[in-house]
Structure 1
């Protein structure tokens, strides 16, 4: 049995992949390609996502068109900030996080720090990525 959070993630994933607004019918039809889901269930969860501020909606005839309020990357960054904010020792949490990063993610993090001006342009990540 799937949790409601799983369906929220499925709805968001489709709208992000499509890069355009979608109706509940379109979302249901797409999910039903891999598993059964009721129209009313998707409609309820889309409304919940709208009330949470994750989706915006506008009327298109008799249907609502739903669209993600922020990009997948913005959403991920917000979740990471929220998780980091839940610890009393941010440095320790960041260290544990980085210790388990694969080398390509370490390089991506270094590039992001340079791009944001938080790391000198000539600084390179440590060899081996860790």
Structure 2
């Protein structure tokens, strides 16, 4: 008796990332069928529709009526979505300080320096500096 090889599951979020990439590359809203075509028909239309519905429920895409169905658009670009996910994970933590400290301590030196530079550029002036 021959054994069937195990089914290879996709990494978590891979399908959502593929669908979002298709939406980011588009010049306007796409229907599920158009997303399916953009992905080279690797997924069934029903699968694409399910992914788009889940992304809409998560607030990652907006949708508008297009005939009997919907057309979808990304709400944020890739960097905005990453920032939103990071904030969402941070919001789940009871000890935000420890989570942030561990995040920073695990960054490569270049990323830590970039983060420090960004924070320095966005700091608000102190009361004494206002009006100078």
Q: Same fold (TM over 0.5)?
A: yes
What residue is the counterpart of 2:31 in the other structure? 23
Aligned residues: 118
Match of 2:22 in 1: 14
Aligned position for 1:87 = 93
| Separation of aligned partners in 2, 1:83 and 1:62 | 36
Q: What residue ranges of structure 1 are gaps of 5+ in the alignment?
A: 120-130
Partner of 2:122: 116
Who is 1:2 aligned against? Answer: 10
Question: What TM-score comes out, normalization by structure 2 length?
Answer: 0.70
2:51 to 21, 39, 45: 45
* Unmatched segments (≥5 aa) in structure 2: 1-8, 126-132
User: In structure 1, what is the Cα distance between the partners aligned to 2:64 and 2:79?
Assistant: 23
Deviant stretches of 4+, over 4 Å: none
Q: Secondary structure at the match of 1:87?
A: coil
Higher CA-based Rg: 2
Distance, in Å, in 2 between the alignment partners of 1:76 and 1:2 is 20
- Alpha-carbon distance change, 80 to 18 in structure 1, aligned in 2, over 3 angstroms: same
CA RMSD of aligned residues (A): 2.8
